Amino acid sequence: MSARRQLSFDDLGTPLVEATLVVVDLETTGTDPTADAITEIGAVKIRGGEVIGEFRTFVDPERPIPAYIASLTGITDATVAGAPSAATVLAMFLDFVGGAALVAHNARFDISFLRAQAARCEIGWPNPQVLDTLALARTVFRRDEVRDHKLSTLAAHVGASVAPDHRALSDARATVDVLHTIIERLGPRGAATLEDLSSAHRRATPVQLRKKHLAESVPSVPGVYRFLDAHEQVLYVGTSRNLRNRVRTYFTAAETRRKVLDMLPRAESIRVIECATPTEAAVRELRIIAAEKPPANRHGLTPQKALWLRLGSGTEGLRAARIARAEDDGSAQIGPLASRHDVEALRGLLTDAVLGRGASFERGTARTLPGGSHRDRIRRAMLTDPREVLDHVATRMRAHTAAGRYEDAENLRRLTGTFLDAARRAARLRAISAVPLLVAARPSTEAVIGGRGWELLAVRHGRFAGTALVPARADPLAVARSLAVTGTGEAELAAPMCQGHHQETEILLTWLDSDGMRTVLVEGEWSQPARARFDLAHLAERFALTSPGPGA
């Protein structure tokens, strides 16, 4: 038996000397992230022990600051008057963070507020890696050395250059000094990577230590990995830009997911599929999960089971549907929806907007109203122009806010967001599913021979047909023509609205939305539907045109 190679720390993850970290601290109006708001954000960006940037701003909490909070922090209503909104600040902060890991003292508090604020502002949370200096400090500084692990105590103990004073930037700067001392102490214990540091306060399980040899032969390339049992049945499937780095984390204390820890005792081998690009890897992962149904994968097991809201043809009304169908008979559908509970709420929203509050779709089937029959108007709102629905919602929201029923207004806004999202997703799926072939190119984010180059993607009826990396000096058109003759079998799987593979299609649509994307070859016609029609910004515009009126 050949000796197993001892992997270096570089094999295990991102070396700490190369890792970019953003140490963040927040001041808030209280302790409940669902009910309270952020008043100040302070952050320090560091790399290799050096400060490379700082971020600080007040935030308009859009509510009064309690007196005891103002006394503690010195931040009053007057302090935040004229400060930028949370949505503006959060977008700026995430741009400052970029791809860095986040660090905070008692990170659960700060990160929960940031995540909750992102959700309220409908800003996607990037799920960065998070380090908690409180948890790490409890491992490094024993109680016989410090009386407690408060930031003020630790900062004084390590001789921090800035004393924390319940102001965001000062506390972040103090946390930086505490973090550097923690890293210095953990270094001799083998904490040389970001992944080591994130799990330094935990220990790998005996099973993880016993099974870690399974990852030894995994290459450092983009692709898909599969954990197999003794009978070569697939237990779990995943994907990564760097298979070696990702797979190794399953055998460290950083891995705490119960489904993974329960799977590892049965794992006997790991098989990988090397892919040209992460996009190919993501598609292959979905297809394997759908075919093999690994027990440890909970998402994507049955992509063919979608949920749509369908306006039927003839006398059929609005109802839930599991299978998307062609719409050339006058029917229409939007989705996929996240929950069956959305169906009745959306039925009510559309019928109220067209027929009036409390009207029944069935009672109004024969009615013809200004602008066409109610069916034509609902179909138009679902497929091309939601203004009638948005005007109805804007008027009701104005009435709710005028009466002080802010929760009712917010619930209505969220329901409208569900409608707009479903209509927007359907419009994009509808457009790409009708295209027999699309070959597009974008600047490559992966290493290409000779330096930077192009990443090409071929799509047939919304399904992945092939991909390739092309050096900058090569002719991408020649490669595009080669891709045009691959994946021809995908055309046989064409379905309305990409039924049965919409998750795969949405991965490809995200790729097609990326900066620098260019269409190289296309059969048929393809154009991205106008997003502005199905966007909450459109609702905000309609709301601005309304005036306060009687209660809804």
Residues serving a catalytic function are 166
In this structure, are strands 234-240 and 223-228 parallel, antiparallel, or unpaired?
antiparallel
> Which among 354, 482, 486, 507 is positioned nearest to 425, based on CA atoms?
507
CA–CA separation, 282 and 94 (whole Å): 25
CA–CA separation, 361 and 10 (whole Å): 63
Q: Look up residue 169 and give its amino acid.
A: L
Burial 350-373 (b: 16+ CB within 10 A, else e): bbbbbbeeeeebeebeeeeeeeee
Query: Quick one: CA dihedral 347, 350, 356, 357, positive or negative?
Result: positive
| 330: region left, alpha or beta (phi > 0 left; psi from -120 to 50 alpha) | left
Torsion angle, alpha carbons of 258, 261, 266, 271, to 10: 110
> Which among 8, 25, 514 is positioned nearest to 278, based on CA atoms?
514
CA–CA separation, 224 and 350 (whole Å): 43
Residues 6+ apart with CB under 8 A from 155: 162, 163, 164, 174, 175, 177, 178
CA–CA separation, 417 and 419 (whole Å): 5
Integer angstrom CA distances of residue 493 from 131, 226, 418, 500: 45, 26, 29, 9
CA–CA separation, 252 and 204 (whole Å): 5
Radius of gyration of the chain (CA): 27
Query: Quick one: CA dihedral 408, 414, 418, 424, positive or negative?
Result: positive
First to last CA, the chain: 78
Beta bridge partners of 238: 225
What token pair was written down for 384? 């091309």
CA–CA separation, 43 and 56 (whole Å): 6
CA–CA separation, 106 and 98 (whole Å): 22
CA–CA separation, 32 and 382 (whole Å): 38
Q: What is the DSSP letter of 38?
A: E
Q: Look up residue 507 and give its amino acid.
A: I
* Count of CB atoms situated within 10 Å of the CB of 67: 9
Beta bridge partners of 310: 319, 333
